[in-house]
Structure 1
Amino acid sequence: MFKHNFKNLKIWQKAMDLTDLTYDYCKGLPVEERYNLIDQLNRCSCSIPSNIAEGSGKRTNVHFAEFLTTSLTSLFEVETQSLIYERRAYGSEKKLKECLELVAEVQKMIFSFRGRILNGGE
């Protein structure tokens, strides 16, 4: 197993960027969604880099890959929440587009990285 300093992983850095972006986007959402969609989006966006960080400390690549998979499921959740916002025409359309583009980028990065570590590479 290759040990990873999660702060040096590009996937963690991009996931942190996504978390920042979603928190910023949520500032422009309707206050009545504070304890519903906003909290949900903030929680699942935080889960992405958190699971990458936690997985980086696991003993095997297989265990790390499981945490990367959990990060992916949180990404799918962020994407779904964002699409709900899009359907309801909430918040800044520009920021929402940025979020969705970054979600797609991070998904590709995690899929690729997970495949590499499972195949013995880094």
Structure 2
Amino acid sequence: MAHFNEINTTAQGNTKRLQKSIPDTMKSFKDLQDAAYAPGALDKKTKEFAALAYAIADKCEGCIGNHVNKLIKLGASREEIAEIAGVAIVMGGGPGSVYGGKALQAYDDAMESR
């Protein structure tokens, strides 16, 4: 099983490759992210929880690792990650239970390396 620190490092490296190859597109994508995650009616933590639920349901390991790390910085607990995984299971069915477990693995891996 892949360790989420390795998954995150690989995902970040791939993003850097894209930034070098298609800088205008990636800058626009970053601007979109910044706008979408800016606090408004919902705070950043709530938006990150929504993104994590989608990442689990959509089975994106790089996204799971990224959003779990952001949530840790925003003070999220393992219990909150587990409850979001539960919501994702409802939305994503059986695969959500596999990838919800991966979200907890990402949390545990991130906390282990601190």
Q: TM-score range by the shorter chain?
A: 0.3 to 0.5
Q: TM-score, normalised by structure 2?
A: 0.33
Q: TM-score, normalised by structure 1?
A: 0.32
Larger radius of gyration between Structure 1 and Structure 2 = 1
